[in-house]
Amino acid sequence: MTPVLEIKNLDVCYGGLQALSDITLDAEKGQIVSIMGANGAGKSTLLKAIAGLLKPRSGSIRFNEKPISHLEPHDIVKLGVSLVPEGRQIFSNLTVLENLLIGSYTPRARKNKKKALENVFTLFPPLEARIHQMGTDLSGGEQQMLAIGRALMSEPRLILFDEISLGLSPLVIKVLYQTVKRINQEGMTVILVEQDVKRSLKTASSAYILQEGKVSLKGDPKRFTENEVRRAYFGL
């Protein structure tokens, strides 16, 4: 089976430094792939490269067998890839509804935006109750729900989550992870960047650990030993 996402020998520079070196990664349809590593390991850089926000110096990124590393971000979204960025990055001066509708700007998504809105409100009932409130009026957890909902409005086939639990309460994190699993069970492929090692290993069907921009461990997370994970993170 050809992977939904196929990355080969990827090098990416960021801020004048080489942030990723020779990254090779696959994601099969319907998988949850976890990308882990210490701060500065290159996790967010990898997601930005997939989403088209950073251009590789060398190597390739293919989505459904189509090369995408040369494409602009909006064209990658049209193909079915959506990013939930670190820090939520919602539009605080817009309402919940306006934030969500921004996610449905592609022709296919515009056509199906009513159904997509219903799906988002089914996943996140608090958003429907606050549909006309401004983004600044939402709690941190609700803002994260809004960021995920906005990404889902484009009807992606592959969704990239960057640190969705950052700064949130355990209860909210539990709800968000339940949503990630539900999205995945409905057939969507998920790439999950997360600092919470235990939760990531438990959630993922495949995992990669980055250290200083390189893959230091990959495979079935259920087979990773504690010592392997520690060495992959810190080189100990």
- pLDDT for 236: 62
CB 152 within 8 A of CB 80: no
Q: What are the angstrom distances between the C-alpha of 74 and each of 39, 101, 103, 105?
A: 28, 15, 11, 9
Per-state percent for the chain, helix, strand, coil, to nearest 5: 40, 25, 35
- Contact of 162 with 83, CB cutoff 8 Å: yes
Query: What's the pLDDT at 62?
Result: 97
User: What's the pLDDT at 222?
Assistant: 87
pLDDT of residue 92: 84
- As for how many domains the chain has, the answer is 1
Q: Which residues make Cβ contacts (< 8 Å) with residue 2, sequence separation at least 6?
A: 65
Structural domain that includes position 124: 5-234
| Chain segment 12-52, per-residue pLDDT in tens | 998 788 999 999 999 999 999 999 988 888 999 999 999 99
- Given a cut of 70, the residues of the chain with pLDDT beneath it are 1, 236
- Residue 41 dihedral angles phi and psi, to the nearest 5°: -75, -20
Question: How much is the pLDDT for 225?
Answer: 84
Which CATH number belongs to the domain containing residue 21 in this structure? 3.40.50.300
